[in-house]
Amino acid sequence: MINPIIAANWKMHKTIPEAVKFAKQLKKEFPEPGDVDIVVAPPFTALRPVMEVLKDSPIHISAQNMHWEEKGAYTGEISTAMLVDAGCEFVIIGHSERRTLFGETDGMLNRKIRAALKSGLKPIFCIGETLEDRESGTAFEVIQKQIKEGLNNITSDDIKQIAFAYEPVWAIGTGKTATPLQAQEAHRFIRETIATDLGYAHASKTVIIYGGSVNPENTGSLMDQPDINGALVGGAGLDFESFAGIIKISKR
């Protein structure tokens, strides 16, 4: 049985007081461990204050990005040691906005994944196709390449520590969502691709979550799909009531 992950990616939103207020609400609403793993990914400035609020709760903290080097002259970057020190357990790697807006390549993401695993952080590895890829019929080729190159030289044991997030680029922040069947088809393909390295017994336990305009209205139909194990929530994760609603729906 896979515990679903419901993760809120706050992106470049929330000041420290706003993040702390949200964290306090979340801790009050979900004080005990349940059958859903709740994760929040604040901006870097709010990581430590949010950790101080949530340290005695079952809610996990994720960073939104990281650098693959341990330290050095990388102005504006942040290392895995800094994230661990701030209380992070997870780190989002390869979000479509990092790929498209900041030019991150599969090779760069591979280095980040290896660095995250070395430090004990659990990567949430994002993969997904553009609208052009889908319309041209190459969506699965793109996804397979992202997985193979992103996991290059990563051991089978380490792959078991990774959660995968399928996020069709055409559904990120657009209000468009893949239909439950489209999402299931992609999740099934991702699981089968992972099975080529892990074997299906292990791949069947891999957490694969969906990201792309997730909200309380569509969560139920997405979570009903056999290969969807949670959600990476963007806009709806900024509003407490919406995010709490997504978590509650996912518990059923």
How far is Cα 190 from Cα 164, in angstroms, rounded to an integer? Answer: 9
Q: Helices 240-250 and 216-223: crossing angle, nearest 10°?
A: 20
Alpha carbon 90 to chain centroid distance?
A: 8
Note down pLDDT in tens along the chain; length 252 residues.
789 999 999 999 999 999 999 999 999 999 999 999 999 999 999 999 999 999 999 999 999 999 999 999 999 999 999 999 999 999 999 999 999 999 999 999 999 999 999 999 999 999 999 888 988 999 999 999 999 999 999 998 999 999 999 999 877 767 777 899 999 999 999 999 999 888 888 899 999 999 988 999 999 999 999 999 999 999 999 999 999 999 999 975
Contacts of 83 (CB under 8 A, 6+ apart): 47, 63, 66, 91, 119, 121
- Domain containing residue 83: 5-250
How many domains does one find in the chain?
1
Retrieve residue 144's tokens.
Answer: 């397979």
Tokens of 95: 């979000």
Q: Write the burial class of residue 36 (CB in 10 Å: 0-12 exposed, 13-18 middle, 19+ buried).
A: buried
List residues with catalytic annotation. Answer: 95, 167
Q: What is the pLDDT of residue 134?
A: 86
CATH of the domain at 127: 3.20.20.70
CB count, 10 Å around CB of 93? 28
Q: What is the model's pTM? A: 0.96
Query: What residues contact 47, with CB distance under 8 A and at least 6 apart?
Result: 61, 63, 83, 86, 87, 88
pLDDT value at residue 159: 93
Q: How far is it, in rounded angstroms, from Cα 124 to Cα 163?
A: 5
Is 92:58 a contact under the CB 8 Å cutoff?
no
